[in-house]
């Protein structure tokens, strides 16, 4: 999880608490989330590009994908 998703996760937890939602409310199949962002953290994208350029694709690592993809916020928040 990149910085953008981490901050969004903290905000989500605070919103759930502020709304007074129970675990059953949050886990209900009819409960959803709407989240948007301008993209992932720029620093993660720059780091990934530097690693790719200097060390090759195998050194970038699988978790870098979720840190740099544009939908990282909604993907991380919607995944249990």
Question: In the prediction, which pLDDT does 19 show?
Answer: 94
Average pLDDT, the chain: 85
For 4-47, what is the HEC assignment? HHHHHHHHHHHHHHHHCCCHHHHHCCCCCCCCCCCCCCHHHHHH
Question: In the predicted model, is pLDDT for residue 80 greater than 70?
Answer: no
Give the pLDDT band (50/70/90) at residue 69: confident
pLDDT digits (tens, 9 = 90+) for 45-61: 888 899 999 998 888 88
Give the pair of three-digit tokens for residue 23: 């675990």
What confidence score (pLDDT) does residue 22 get? 94
Question: Would you state the pLDDT for residue 11?
Answer: 92
Domain boundaries, the chain: 3-78
């Amino acid at each position: 999880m990149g910085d953008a998703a981490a901050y969004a996760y903290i905000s989500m937890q605070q919103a759930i608490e502020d709304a007074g939602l129970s675990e059953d409310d949050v886990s209900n199949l009819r409960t959803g989330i709407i989240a948007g962002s301008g993209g992932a953290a720029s620093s993660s994208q720059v780091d990934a590009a530097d690693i790719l350029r200097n060390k090759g694709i195998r050194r970038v690592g699988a978790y870098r994908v979720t840190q740099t993809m544009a939908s990282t916020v909604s993907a991380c928040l919607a995944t249990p």
